[in-house]
Amino acid sequence: DVKVTQSSRYLVKRTGEKVFLECVQDMDHENMFWYRQDPGLGLRLIYFSYDVKMKEKGDIPEGYSVSREKKERFSLILESASTNQTSMYLCASSSRGGLGTQYFGPGTRLLVL
């Protein structure tokens, strides 16, 4: 079974803090994605990566950066957390071949005070 894990289920941070969210997948997938999920807005793509050290901006990259130094790990960084970044963050991975099915982690619920 594909497993995607995220470093924390819940996080509480203060405005201005630097926040790291980590995602690890164990299926040797080339593609990895970071989304945020907000009520009524569905999933919005923040950043994605097709390979190690490669990254592409998604629909809402402002205020975020990412790092992919190893194939299995994709990190999302909030350089200076703000209250409007309070959200559920979901990581996903997919294989370059096949159906393009994305496999999701359980999510990190981030609260910025």
Partner 1 sequence: GEDVEQSLFLSVREGDSSVINCTYTDSSSTYLYWYKQEPGAGLQLLTYIFSNMDMKQDQRLTVLLNKKDKHLSLRIADTQTGDSAIYFCASGYSSASKIIFGSGTRLSIRP
Neighbouring residues of 24: CB distance < 8 A, sequence distance ≥ 6? 4, 5, 72, 73
Determine, following the binding rule CB under 8 A, whether residue 96 of this chain makes contact with partner 1.
yes
Determine, following the binding rule CB under 8 A, whether residue 11 of this chain makes contact with partner 1.
no
Residue 31 · residue 50 · CB < 8 Å = yes
CB of 104 to partner 1, least distance (A): 4
Residue 112 · residue 81 · CB < 8 Å = yes
Determine, following the binding rule CB under 8 A, whether residue 62 of this chain makes contact with partner 1.
no
Closest CA to 74 of 55, 59, 100, 60: 55
**Toward partner 1, which CB reaches closer, 4 or 78?**
4
Interface residues with partner 1 (CB under 8 A) are 4, 30-31, 33, 35, 40-43, 45, 48, 50, 58-59, 90, 92, 94-107
